[in-house]
Copies of this chain bind each other. A is one copy, B any other.
Amino acid sequence: MSRPLGEFELIAAIRDRIARAGAPASVDGLLLGSGDDAAISTREGVSVTSVDALVEGVHFRMPPFEPRSVGHKALAAALSDLAAMGAQGREAYVQLGVREGISDAQLLDLADGLGGLAAAHRIAVAGGDVTRAPALLLAVTAIGHARGPEAVVRRSGARAGDLLAVTGALGGAAAGLVLLERPELGAGLEQPVAAALRRRQLEPEPLLAAGLALAGAGATAMIDLSDGLGGDAGHLAAASSVTVRIEAERIPVQPGVAAVAEAARMEAIDLAAGGGEDYELLATLPPERLAEASSAVAACGLELTVIGSVETGAGVELSGASSAARPTLGFDQLRPRPPGRC
Binding site for B on A (CB under 8 A): 2-3, 5-8, 10, 31-32, 35-43, 45-53, 55, 57-59, 81-82, 84-85, 87, 91, 93-95, 97-98, 126-135, 137, 139, 141-144, 146, 149, 152, 154-156, 222-224, 239, 332-335
Contacts and interface: CB of A to CB of B under 8 A. Distances in A.
A81 B85 CA distance: 29
Contacts of A152: 32, 40
B134 A135 contact: yes
A42 to B, nearest CB: 5
- Taking chain A's interface residues, is the majority helix, strand, or loop, or is none over half, making it mixed? strand
Copies of this chain, whole number: 2
A132 B97 contact: no
8 contacts: A38-B82, A41-B47, A47-B47, A49-B93, A51-B127, A130-B334, A134-B135, A135-B135
B49 A127 contact: yes
A240 to B, nearest CB: 11
A195 B157 CA distance: 51
A133 B53 CA distance: 10
Given A3-B334, A93-B141, 12 more contacts: A5-B334, A6-B332, A36-B154, A37-B224, A38-B49, A40-B48, A51-B94, A53-B97, A55-B97, A130-B334, A132-B333, A137-B137
